[in-house]
């Protein structure tokens, strides 16, 4: 068993490492995933200035990529649609509509000059064996710019993922210039689909971005979408609008897509609805507004690392210095080789050293004659003369010797020495040379890479606040069903699908739930109302309930709850009689007409009772048998009998004493209890506390 666990652990770690490093996560040095790097390498190898069928490029790339042609084709289309390093010919799909590209046999592509300038330098590129050992492929390209920021990247690996937003080509190079000059730098995303972006929480590439479509609201009866938010297509955006309309989140009369080279989606509004009423709903309930979380994860030093945008720019600024230094050193080496060869050739021809070999009979003698011929000119030669140098001189045709132009040779050597001086100056001020290189690229590419996304500031629209209460909530007491999908019964109030309601059932159980379409709640529902925090916190529930000991009154607020969790508003073993949320009301108790009861009705102003916790017990009003318990408006008590006043006074006395109060026998006479309202009250009755 231990062996099996070891095998599984080893294989899983190897697989996870492979997926992270060799498939899903881009490398910081060139910003490419392996399949993208292999595609560009194939295009460099095939480059002859002409277009190649994508099918041929895919076939060539199969030499390096072990995962089949489908992944190569799809990756090539995505890479070509970045409009950076690959020239396209044919239908490569549409990033606005989401339409797919034509088959690989119908479309063509080629590498462009910018890629050769910024990526391609085989002499300083490290190569490794391909998967089958038959070919060599680059480990990373010597990229002079941070492609991972310019192109962006998305990938899911084992236990980690990356999402890097694309940035403007020119702005990234300007940020590199700022980094080389030790100045502050700030970069914001720029999306190929345009739109608006709020980058207040971008956090230098470690936060999130809010993106919006650009809307034309000049016509009050229609909205035209001119630019898309990043991550959406016209197809997905239209689908989200239609879905919101089906759910009554927005009201539209129709939607038309006129997108060709530019986005144009027309949203016709319903009668009586204006653009001002609809804009917030579009942002809240459709893909017209999205929040994009960023995770700048890259492979650096053979390890996945999370970096900020500024760190990536500064890393590439120093990497550019290293690459330009290597290129200058390489060029200087080649120039020195050329200068050495041209110097030997000049002396060999002008001083007629070749005449020394005319009478030599052996190969060794020829070499020695040439060596001796150069002895007087050692001061002009900066390097040691080798057999390879002599061999090259001896291969010069007689025609070249006869046509040898001394002035032309001297001019060429002068130019070589001049270039060597320039290289020396560049190496002495390599950072200034790097800045000059970047500025030359910026000057040549500014027109090709305008900013497309407008950076602005806006708040994310809260879906609950933007939702219109256009659904009618009904309760059918006959069936016990509640919801906006219930077609019969009592109409309660208007709701939106984002509302929450509190439902109190006949048993005294209550819960806060999302607005239901159709839900069985009980055939004797006591309360149903809005349950947003402000409304619920400001609402006081007054409950009349009874148990074996009597009838109680309880006032409470429901301030905290867990959605869909059941609670009780009355103690266990108690039965609720009536519930109200009105303030200026009296609790009216009517007793069963028994011979021992002289008072058959009492009134208790609910405002005289304290508001307590929902878990607290109520105040006992009576222990008599109750015929009915209702709430009446307090204004109805203006002509109440003496008994009503006596009940309230007894309740107040009980509250003041901290005890429950029960209306007892009258102190004297029974006539006062029977007097009609508006008559002069009789003697006061006593009460037991």
- Return the structure tokens found at 291: 């929040």
Question: How many angstroms separate the first and last alpha carbons of the chain?
Answer: 78
CA proximity to 226, closest of 261, 269, 255, 263: 263
C-alpha 56, offset from chain centre: 36
Per the DSSP assignment, residues forming a β-bridge with 136 are 129
Active site residue 106: yes
Cα–Cα separations (whole angstroms), residue 355 to 342, 348, 360, 445: 19, 9, 10, 56
Q: Which residues partner with 551 through β-bridges?
A: 546, 622
**Distance of alpha carbon 202 from alpha carbon 292, whole angstroms:** 10
Gap between the Cα atoms of 504 and 270, Å rounded: 37
Q: How far apart are CA 237 and CA 558, in angstroms?
A: 41
Taking a C-beta distance cutoff of 8 angstroms, is the pair 197, 456 a contact?
A: yes
| CB contact at 8 A, 87 and 77 | no
Dihedral over alpha carbons 515, 517, 520, 521 (to 10 degrees) = 20
Q: Catalytic one among 18, 106, 127, 131?
A: 106
Q: How far apart are CA 515 and CA 499, in angstroms?
A: 6
Return the SS3 of 53. strand
Query: Widest CA span of the chain, in angstroms?
Result: 163
As a whole number of Å, the CA-based R_g of the chain is: 44
Which long-range contacts (C-beta less than 8 Å, at least 24 apart) are formed by 232-235? 232/193, 232/287, 232/290, 233/95, 233/96, 233/97, 233/98, 234/96, 234/97, 234/98, 234/259, 234/263, 234/265, 235/97, 235/98
| Cα 511 to Cα 531: distance, rounded to the nearest angstrom | 10
Contact 209, 189 (CB under 8 A): yes
Which segments of 133-205 does DSSP mark as H helices, in order? Answer: 147-151, 169-180
Residue 367: which of 398, 340, 393 has the closest Cα? 393
| Helix runs in 447-569, H state only | 463-466, 533-537
What is the CB neighbour count within 10 angstroms for residue 271?
7
- What lies within 8 Å, CB to CB, of 630 at 6+ separation is 578, 587, 588
- List active site positions: 106
């Amino acid at each position: 068993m231990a062996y099996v666990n070891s095998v599984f652990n080893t294989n899983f770690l190897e697989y996870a490492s492979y997926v992270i490093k060799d498939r899903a996560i881009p490398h910081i040095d060139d910003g490419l995933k392996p399949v993208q790097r292999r595609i560009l390498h194939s295009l460099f190898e095939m480059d002859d200035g002409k277009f190649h069928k994508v099918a041929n490029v895919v076939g060539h790339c199969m030499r390096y990529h072990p995962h089949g042609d489908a992944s190569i084709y799809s990756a090539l289309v995505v890479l070509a649609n970045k409009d950076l390093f690959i020239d396209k010919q044919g239908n490569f799909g549409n990033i606005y509509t989401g339409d797919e590209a034509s088959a690989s046999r119908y479309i063509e592509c080629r590498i462009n000059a910018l890629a050769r300038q910024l990526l391609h330098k085989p002499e300083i590129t490290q190569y490794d064996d391909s998967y089958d050992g038959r070919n060599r492929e680059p480990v990373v390209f010597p990229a002079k710019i941070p492609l991972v920021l310019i192109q962006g990247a998305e990938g899911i690996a084992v236990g980690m993922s990356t999402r890097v937003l694309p940035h403007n080509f020119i702005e990234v190079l300007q940020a590199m210039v700022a980094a080389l000059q030790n100045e502050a730098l700030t970069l914001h995303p720029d999306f190929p689909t345009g739109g608006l972006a709020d980058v207040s929480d971008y956090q230098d590439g470690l936060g999130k971005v809010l993106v919006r479509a650009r809307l034309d609201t000049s016509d009050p009866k229609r909205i035209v979408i001119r630019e898309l938010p990043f991550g959406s297509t016209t197809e997905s955006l239209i689908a989200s609008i239609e879905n919101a309309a089906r759910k009554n989140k927005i009201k539209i009369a129709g939607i038309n897509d006129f997108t060709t080279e530019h986005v144009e989606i027309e949203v016709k509004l319903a009668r009586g609805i204006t653009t001002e009423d609809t804009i917030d709903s579009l942002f809240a309930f459709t893909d017209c507004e999205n929040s994009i979380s960023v995770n700048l994860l890259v492979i650096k030093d053979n390890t996945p690392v999370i970096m900020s945008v500024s760190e990536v720019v500064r890393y590439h600024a120093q990497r550019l210095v290293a690459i330009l230094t290597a290129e200058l050193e390489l060029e200087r080496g080649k120039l020195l080789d050329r200068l050495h060869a041209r110097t030997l050739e000049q002396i060999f021809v002008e001083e007629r050293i070749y005449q020394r070999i005319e009478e030599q009979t052996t190969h060794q003698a020829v070499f020695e004659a040439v060596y001796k011929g150069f002895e007087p000119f050692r001061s002009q030669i900066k390097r040691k003369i080798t057999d390879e140098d002599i061999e090259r001189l001896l291969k010069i045709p007689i025609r070249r010797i006869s046509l040898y132009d001394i002035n032309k040779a001297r001019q060429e050597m002068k130019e070589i020495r001049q270039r060597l001086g320039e290289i020396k100056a560049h190496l002495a001020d390599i950072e200034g040379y790097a800045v000059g290189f970047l500025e030359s690229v910026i000057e040549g590419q500014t027109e090709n890479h305008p900013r497309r996304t407008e950076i602005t500031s806006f708040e994310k629209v809260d879906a609950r606040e933007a939702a219109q209460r256009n659904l009618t909530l009904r309760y059918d007491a006959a069936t016990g069903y509640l919801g906006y999908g219930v077609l019969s019964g009592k109409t309660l109030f208007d709701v939106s699908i984002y509302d929450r309601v509190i439902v109190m059932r006949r048993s005294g159980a209550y819960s806060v739930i999302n607005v239901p379409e159709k839900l069985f709640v009980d055939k004797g529902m006591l309360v149903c109302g809005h349950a947003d925090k402000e409304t619920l916190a400001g609402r006081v529930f007054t409950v009349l309930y009874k148990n074996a000991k009597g009838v109680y009154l309880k006032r409470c607020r429901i301030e905290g709850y867990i959605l869909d969790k059941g609670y009780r508003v009355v103690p266990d073993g108690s039965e609720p009689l009536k519930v109200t949320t009105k303030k200026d009301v009296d609790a009216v108790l009517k007793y069963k007409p028994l011979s021992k009861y002289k008072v058959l009705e009492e009134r208790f102003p609910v405002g005289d009772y304290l508001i307590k916790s929902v878990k607290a017990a109520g105040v006992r009003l009576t222990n008599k048998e109750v015929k009915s318990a209702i709430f009446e408006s307090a204004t109805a008590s203006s002509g109440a009998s003496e008994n009503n006043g006596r009940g309230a006074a007894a309740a107040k006395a009980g509250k003041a004493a901290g005890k429950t109060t029960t209306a007892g026998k009258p102190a004297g006479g029974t006539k006062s209890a029977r007097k009609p309202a508006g008559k002069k009250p009789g003697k006061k009755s006593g009460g037991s506390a």
